[in-house]
Structure 1
Amino acid sequence: MKLKPLFFTLFLVISTLSSAAETDNANDTEANSADSSTTEATTASRVMPDPARQQQADLAQAQNAETDVVWLELNDQKQLALLQRATTATPTGHVIMFTAPSTGADWPDLVHPLRTQLTEYGWNTLSLSLPRPPAAAIPKRTLPNLQNSNQLQSPSDNETADADQTSTETADAASVTPDAAETPSANDPMVEYTQQIVTLGDLAASRLAELPGDITIILGIGEGAVWAMHYFSQDETQENRFLVLLDPMPVTDDKAPSLLTMIKNSQSPILDLWFNDNRYQQQQAKLRMHTALRSGNEGYQQFRLNQRANASKKEPLWLTRQLRGILKNHLQTSQPPDTTTANQAELTPGS
């Protein structure tokens, strides 16, 4: 009889523990739900950082009083441009600098010296920050999936699969015309990007049109040379507008404009300035020269620039002086002779 109270007591203890465990589980579930709700709300309100935009903002803050910070509106976004006015009363012209998207509008190696020092020789300079190009598309997989060693196909199955695949590829090839395969889609990210480059160049030209100067130089540096030439090739009939390529490099994206193709199709004066630093630059320079010669463009000229000076005092101006001399000798047109004095002399009585 004494066992019954003992069993009854054990039953009560077990029931109490089970109720407490269920209560704790319910509380944990509610807490987890509250935490997940808080996490979702935090994620929804979180703004992803934009390193490129932050870099432009920091670069704008670092400029001195000599530089005008210009924000060009491009598709509801602002692109940084750095304007440096000529230090002469009658500027010669303007230089629109297309830099590589990975370097920016004030790259210390080449861009900064040119945009700040060319002003001493009568040039207004406007250096552009190009938007980041679209990421290259991941190529479609062409290799077959790896098969399980336990699911090897027999020779007859392989032959059947190959025959089916061949017929499918033939049908697909027949359904696609050559023009459709070669013509990029209007919704292609690279097509939209090239249109942005043209719009950005037009905005820069409009900004410089407010300043005095007759000649406009479209200067492309590094990979920026591809985008500078793409912008220039949209309208090659404008007077007093010239293209200069400085250390041009092709863009690796296959859908981007081809520098060699644009040189082949152009009949406008082009100055191609390159550094003889390595074999790759030598090969690329030779390819561009041969392409221009085959196209019959007599206005294409190529110059190999001297290397950096060893003297520290000459270092800051080593590139600017070379570029300034080339522009002066090969692009700047001399003013027509003043015939007023001669005409007056001819009309003088007795002469």
Structure 2
Amino acid sequence: MKAVSEVPGAVGTQRTGGMVTTVVRVVGLAGGLALLGFGGYGLLTDQYVSGHQLQVALWAAGAIVLHDGVWVPVLLAAGALLARLVPEVVRIPVRTGLMVAAAVSAVGIPAALREHDHNGNATLLPLPYLRNWLLVLLVVAVLTGLASALTVLRDHGRRQQARPGARPHAAEGEKAAMARTHSYRTEVGWTGNRGTGTSDYRSYDRSHDIDADGRPRIQASSDPAFRGDPARWNPELLLVASVSECHMLWYLHYCAVGGVVVTGYTDAAEGTMSEDEKGGRFTEVVLRPRVEVASAEMVARAEALHADAHRACFIANSVNFPVRHEGAVTVRSPSEAEEAGPESGLTESGTD
């Protein structure tokens, strides 16, 4: 079997992000159509264009051919080359720097080539465009290098925090809080008296209520194997659930500080109890969390962080039976998780 880590998707955040994306697309489309309309109006009414519409149309057609036939293929080839040669961690700042450099070059190169071609008019192209273009490219390269270095340092810090056995760095106040003793209070009340109390083994119900301040009441019973109500929670189920949710919460924490974006989490946990003439005891709990992460680059780290979560889990550290993990990690972006729903299947990467 495969242990799966679960991270519940932040549905509200995903929906908000989807709405923002839709609004941005609509605004961009409306702006583009407005610019096209303005340009068309200018072609029809501008006094400098009047009588030269055919030449302008040919120029526009040439621009389209140049864009779709030359510029787009060059960008696609550059993107493919970038994905092969540039490490993923610095790909965004490098891509941004190259885009800025390309935009500057598209304006700077024509001016630099005609720097001294002013036909006797000193007011035309009066600046040292070649030098200025090269200076701007140098500034872009320096800023790209600085952004890449900062990205690498931040990624290194995340990896250090997320490495097996590592604990996240804590401020002094947080360290003091970690050293404190915590107290948890519950109240259990038996509700199964049929009128004769525990006069014999079959004379009473095992039903009871579990309360804690400010929390919803849990109506519980014993395991059906011990004359309990099968419709209610029992201590054995609650124990397995507490191990599972403790592991999940620590796992989500380590993913958050380790640069792993989890978009979904479910866990089909199972506990085994052995009974003998003296009573019984749990022999193991197996967690099978199914984790969804935002990109394939996060899968290996997501699998490794289960070990950290297990070492940190308060409940797993408090029981005297082994807690095993059979995990699976899949890739799904937040938008895909919202559109597909939790039941659709994905290709898994698992660790036993």
With the shorter chain as reference, the TM-score category is: under 0.3
Which has the higher relative contact order, 1 or 2, with Cα contacts under 8 A spaced 6 or more apart? 2
With structure 1 as the length reference, what TM-score do the two structures score? 0.23
Whichever structure has more helix as a proportion of its residues is 2
With structure 2 as the length reference, what TM-score do the two structures score? 0.23
